[in-house]
Structure 1
């Protein structure tokens, strides 16, 4: 009963590996993220940042999490399969994208990001590798391993996002940043879509700030006093640089595009537009149909939380049905970086059938746990003895064993950890 067959490994990272799989039932391709650490309860699994955020985010431009599976203490995320990411798409180009194509990609990225922010999360790791796509027509935001809730309390870690897309307040070790860091990253990505080269390719955190200063110029203290306070706290002095016009660096971008990028790349996070505000810029007010093509739009379905049914030994008849584990999850930042491997792994995942984690939902017949067979009837004279010694029933001794232990007079000392179901 195998529901998915693993076809090959797509990448491997610190916290998990990404596998390409196929549903044996429908033939649909899926991406399976297998976490490296073990999870011993559903509390741990369902509290993961990635699960908590994706459970609430159903949008055409956010990657769809189909199932969460826990099997043999291993955790698997089953995602819809996307052919490539934005980094690969840009790397394989031998000519620049037309502005109309870039506009449509940016519209989808900002639509997905506005939805994420509206529902109380910010991503913290926006970069081309985390924007999955099917050509330039469809773009989806993925990898929510570092996502945080907007209402969660600082301080946050300063080490988030890939350096080239990291906002200056994070580079200067701020611990109270929020959703504007995603907007800075989107501005950097937009510039890269026009040139097919990163805008701020710093080799270290300090070099990254220098690269930003060389393009945007040294920030004025009056424009961003918090930035100077952060720099002072870490004994950093901004280099004195004259700004370069983005139009000079990105000549193929329209004036409307330059305006949007300039505003998203503001030193002061408070002055950057929100994703919703960015969508209202003149850049998008054109007679162009924007968004995913109709064939890619589909009804979003709830995520299945699939818990394993542990195999039970075949036993004589007993009145007990073992209770399933409670549902639950941990808070771990996952940053799986896909790196193609040459070796192909053909291994099936075990089939797991469990109900969705939805209230008042009828459990399908095949998912219901099977009742255990009953032990041979125990005569009524034995029950007082069992009660007397507080026996519970994780192990099931035979009647002969119980009688022999009664005669020996040490039932309580040897069998006190077994049988509430027999009482």
Structure 2
């Protein structure tokens, strides 16, 4: 009995993107192999070995530079140059992060970390690593393309986001981070520039170059991590023994920045950064930070005894629940600082409705073309709401715990990804959000 090999069969068997265009010669080769297997009475649907899958991926075009077309440079860093590109396999836009290899040193350790971690992180709120291309001179990481980041988004709306959008971005940030932390991975470099946003309003964690997989909370790491403004006080004071709370401090700083339009602690030196923290949150004591009196660096600075200020006076746009969550993220005692998982269950997010907690981690787990959408508000952002006259099919929106029908012009039939989306309507940017 002859079994016809279809593109759909292959994409399912190899866990490939549904919109991939398989080369005709590859399908022809599989058809011949299938016929041979049928003649030998072996199952044509048996699982692929790792070696067979790798060979098949290579036949399709993965792992080859010629599979991608460079469309222009997005930005350049110390080790890498990022290009906007297009995949010939899907015709989708991609970001090509080209890492220069120094023959004496090989691949930078940050690149190795990024590859090893992202290969195993499959989540709606974490940037997807599509492909890895290794040549003699470079290592190219092929990411999904997102053309903005949270910093650009804030700039684009005049540093005055709607509080509804603040809440939705915050929820997505916590979802991605919770997924990482459950897998014992710390990001270690959270900042608005590392939170990428697409034209649907999906927010995704990116730039895992400093990320580390932690085996136990006391493992020693370098304290030279995390951009200064988002660095927690325990790291500023020299600790090398930390766990997931290092990321949660950064989340608090980002929440403040989204709600106010300005960085929370924009220090230019470690001492100035600590001074800004203590002046707002109060100089730590043994009660607020057990063991701080034994920290040599803290004692050497001889900070004044500041009293904690009321956060509501500095973030008047946050409601009571928002202030409570912000406070829980900015506790000095790392054992008491809120986790990502606990933060997701905070009353601050109640207005998004219960269905928000049933979102699938990845695209492959959705079984419907309906998506859970937040209601968009534009009175403070200048961002247009969805134009229901241009919608192609019906989506579900969540607003104040009630689900209402609303059209969206942004989704196609292939977009089955259950997620929170916001229309950003952003322009082209010169700065690169992927580097």
Fold match (TM-score > 0.5): yes
Could you tell me whether the CA contact under 8 Å between 2:293 and 2:299 is conserved in 1?
A: no
Q: Determine helix, strand or coil for the equivalent of 2:222.
A: coil
Which residue of 1 is the match for residue 394 of structure 2? none
Matched with 1:17 is 81
Give the structure 1 partner of residue 195 of structure 2. Answer: 131
Does the alignment pair 1:86 with 2:115? no
Report if the CA contact (8 A) 2:123-2:362 is conserved.
no
Q: What is the TM-score with the length of structure 2 in the denominator?
A: 0.64
Q: Report the counterpart of residue 98 of structure 1 in structure 2.
A: 162
User: Which structure would you say has the larger Rg?
Assistant: 1
In the alignment, structure 1 residue 160 sits paired with structure 2 residue 225: yes
Following TM superposition, the consecutive aligned residue runs of length 4 or more in structure 1 with deviations greater than 3 angstroms are 38-47, 231-234, 287-292, 294-297, 339-342
- The offset of 1:74, in angstroms, is 1.3
Residues 1:225 and 2:290 are matched in the alignment: yes
Once superposed, what is the RMSD of the aligned Cα atoms? 3.0
SS, match of residue 295 in structure 2: helix
Number of aligned positions between the proteins: 304
**1: CA distance, partners of 2:107 / 2:160:** 47
Question: Where does residue 309 of structure 2 map in the other structure?
Answer: 244
> What SS does the aligned partner of 1:155 have?
coil
TM-score, normalised to structure 1's length? 0.66
Cα deviation for residue 291 of structure 1 reads: 5.8
CA shift in 2, pair 1:182/1:44, >3 Å: closer
For the structure 1 residues 40 and 28, does the alpha-carbon distance in structure 2 shift closer, same or farther, using more than 3 Å as the test?
A: farther
Distance 2:106 2:268 in 1: 41
Contact in 1 for aligned 2:257/2:264 (Cα 8 Å): yes
How far apart are 1:127 and its partner, in Å?
A: 0.5
The alpha carbon displacement at 1:179 in A equals 1.0
Q: Tell me if 1:117 matches 2:181.
A: yes
User: How does 1:16-415 map onto structure 2 within 5 Å?
Assistant: 16-38=80-102, 48-94=112-158, 96-135=160-199, 137-151=201-215, 154-232=219-297, 235-288=300-353, 298-299=363-364, 340=430
With over 3 angstroms needed to count, the CA separation of the structure-2 counterparts of 1:211 and 1:233, relative to structure 1, is closer
Query: Are residues 27 and 3 of structure 1, via their aligned partners in 2, closer, same or farther at CA, if it must alter by over 3 Å?
Result: same
> C-alpha distance in 1, partners of 2:115/2:103?
14
Query: How many angstroms does 1:64 deviate by?
Result: 0.3
Compute the displacement of 1:45 (Å).
Answer: 8.8
Please state how far the C-alpha of 1:269 moved relative to its aligned partner: 1.3
Name the SS for the 2:124 alignment partner: coil
Query: Secondary structure, in 3 states, of the residue corresponding to 1:286?
Result: helix
Q: CA deviation at 1:73?
A: 3.8
Q: CA deviation at 1:17?
A: 1.5
2:118 and 2:244 map into 1 onto residues whose CA distance is 17
Give structure 2 stretches of 5+ with no counterpart. 1-64, 366-428
Whether the 8 Å contact between 2:174 and 2:343 is mirrored in structure 1 is yes
Work out the CA distance in 2 between the residues paired with 1:74 and 1:231. Answer: 44
Contact 1:157 1:175 in 2 (8 A): yes
1: distance between equivalents of 2:110 and 2:214? 19
Distance 1:246 1:146, change over 3 A: same
